[in-house]
Amino acid sequence: TRELAETDPAVFAAINAELDRQQSTLEMIASENFAPLAVMQAQGSVLTNKYAEGYPGRRYYGGCEHVDVIEQLAIDRIKDLFGAEYANVQPHSGAQANAAAMSALLKPGDTILGLDLAHGGHLTHGMRLNFSGQLYNAVAYHVGADDHRVDMAEVERLAQEHKPQLIVAGWSAYPRQLDFAEFRRIADSVGAYLMVDMAHFAGLVAAGLHPSPVPHAHVVTSTTHKTLGGPRGGIILATKDLAKKFNSSVFPGQQGGPLEHVIAAKAVAFKLAAEPEFRERQERTLAGARLLANRLLADDARAAGINVVSGGTEVHLVLVDLRDSELDGKQAEDRLHAIGITVNRNAVPFDPRPPMISSGVRIGTPALAARGFDEDDFAEVADIIAAALHPVLDDAQLDRLRERVARLAASRPLYPNLSEDV
């Protein structure tokens, strides 16, 4: 229908401009993805209108018989997907899932131990200005200077020294898998809870292509919109014995009415994540990231001052290390933007440049894999990026790279069934 176009042409026009941007450029922000139309349809439904404080079967509002069905489907599907005993699908976002998980297990002033933001951690893992750094005594662990892997000896040393009540394992910009069993051993040795925030790699876990934290952690949190490919939102998974704590921490602890339209969209995404096509897409996601890392480690790229944090990747992203390049992270982000590739600049471990400039870019493959990119496509993307990150390029070279990007985008149409009517 033309409702939006007629009611609010300004918003309608901006949404369509965004659709065109998504279709005509290459989205390589590692935390982004393209939700299927079915997911967006559920989210844009009449469920927008419904209040449903409480949980299925135990609501504080009338008329919840249908949203109960939907929320229970989402709960059952996510429990099945990850083999979890308990799930809460109400957190409005990943940050809220983490806030609820922490407030269920901690008192203000307790100590948490998480990966330093500057070494790939997330704001909610103890950053000074975030609730997690304000409410709790946050201590940070790091990656090693040589191998760029989480330094488990340091984790153990800091755990012994600070006796945290909670250890957080998880990351936003880290190209390797974590050793969840070792984290649990260290947590147990000091009587701490282990929380794994799998926001970034949940889709890989769901596909069976990354070790699952569920058997090891007391609580696992995630977003639903990154590799998992669903609507923007959060979830909490745990063992049954902690169910009551987490339920009351989400509602009424952190939130009021759940977003049942988003929960419906989560349910659809969880159904899709259990299908073979989803696994195949995650395989292409990983293959694309590996191809990109290898291309950026080739001699010509190394000679241009390009390097790759940790020397490769085991997940859906590559952290490009430009510490040896004249091109800084900000310039690299702008350069890629100019040819139609969207990434974000990112500090690399031990970054000498300030955070607003940085010496890295984080490049992810989930969104392009969702668009159908195969290994040949990713090889072409990797070649384009390697060329684009040379310190000195003239306008003619940039024009040719922009044309190659446009050709790739046109060859893998995004949302081909959506016309200008969003």
Annotated binding site: 117, 121-123
Q: Which of 93, 132, 165, 307 binds ligand PLP (CB under 6 A)?
A: 93
In the complex with ligand PLP, the residue whose CB is nearer, 282 or 346, is: 346
Residue spans of beta strands (DSSP E) within 108-210: 111-115, 137-141, 166-170, 193-197
**Joined tokens for residue 136:** 């709790």
Query: If residue 60 lies in a helix (H) or strand (E), which one and from where to where?
Result: none
Residues 77, 122, 142, 281: which binds ligand PLP (CB under 6 A)? 122
Query: Of 162 and 232, which CB lies nearer to ligand PLP in the complex structure?
Result: 232
- Residue 157: CA count within 13 A, CB half-sphere: 8
Residue for token digits 């989210």?
43
Residue 405 neighbours by CB distance under 10 Å: 21
Tokens of 248: 């009351």
DSSP-derived secondary structure letter, 143: B
CB of 211 to ligand PLP, least distance (A): 16
Per DSSP, helices labelled H in 25-175 are: 37-43, 65-82, 94-105, 131-135, 152-162
Provide, rounded to whole angstroms, the least separation between the CB of residue 339 and ligand PLP. 25
130 binds ligand PLP (CB under 6 A): no
Which residues contribute to the annotated binding site for (6S)-5,6,7,8-tetrahydrofolate?
117, 121-123
Complex with ligand PLP: residue 122 or 261, whichever CB lies closer: 122
Task: Choose one: 3-11, 32-40, 92-100, 384-392; the region binding ligand PLP (CB under 6 A).
Answer: 92-100
> Which is nearer to ligand PLP, 210 or 390 (by Cβ)?
210
Active site residue 223: yes
CB neighbours of 163 closer than 8 A, spacing ≥ 6?
Answer: 111, 190, 191, 192
Using CB positions, name the residue nearest to ligand PLP.
94
Nearer to ligand PLP, 199 or 289 (CB): 199
Select the residue interacting with ligand PLP from 22, 23, 25, 31 (CB under 6 A).
31
Q: Pairing state of beta strands 193-197 and 219-223?
A: parallel
- Asked if 86 is an active-site residue, the reply is no
Residue of 124, 221, 223, 365 with catalytic role: 223
The stretch near ligand PLP (CB under 6 A) out of 34-42, 94-102, 245-253, 271-279 is: 94-102
CB closer to ligand PLP, 84 vs 301: 84
Q: Is 51 a catalytic residue?
A: yes
Q: Who contacts 311 (Cβ-Cβ below 8 Å, separation ≥6)?
A: 147, 148, 297
Q: Which of residues 290-329 bind ligand PLP (CB under 6 A)?
A: none
The verdict on 111 binding ligand PLP (CB under 6 A) reads no
170 part of the interface to ligand PLP, by CB under 6 A = yes
Residue 73 sits at φ, ψ, to 5 deg, of -60, -45
Q: Is 53 annotated in the active site?
A: yes
C-beta of residue 367 within 8 angstroms of C-beta of residue 33 = yes
Question: Mask: binding to ligand PLP, 179-208, rule CB under 6 A, as x and -?
Answer: ------------------x-xx--------
**3-state secondary structure (DSSP) of residue 150:** strand
CB 24 within 8 A of CB 411: no
Give CA 62 to chain center in angstroms.
35
Residue 233 Cβ, how far from ligand PLP at the closest point, in Å? 7
Candidates 329, 349, 308; CA nearest to 119 is 349
Residues that are catalytic:
51, 53, 197, 223, 226, 232
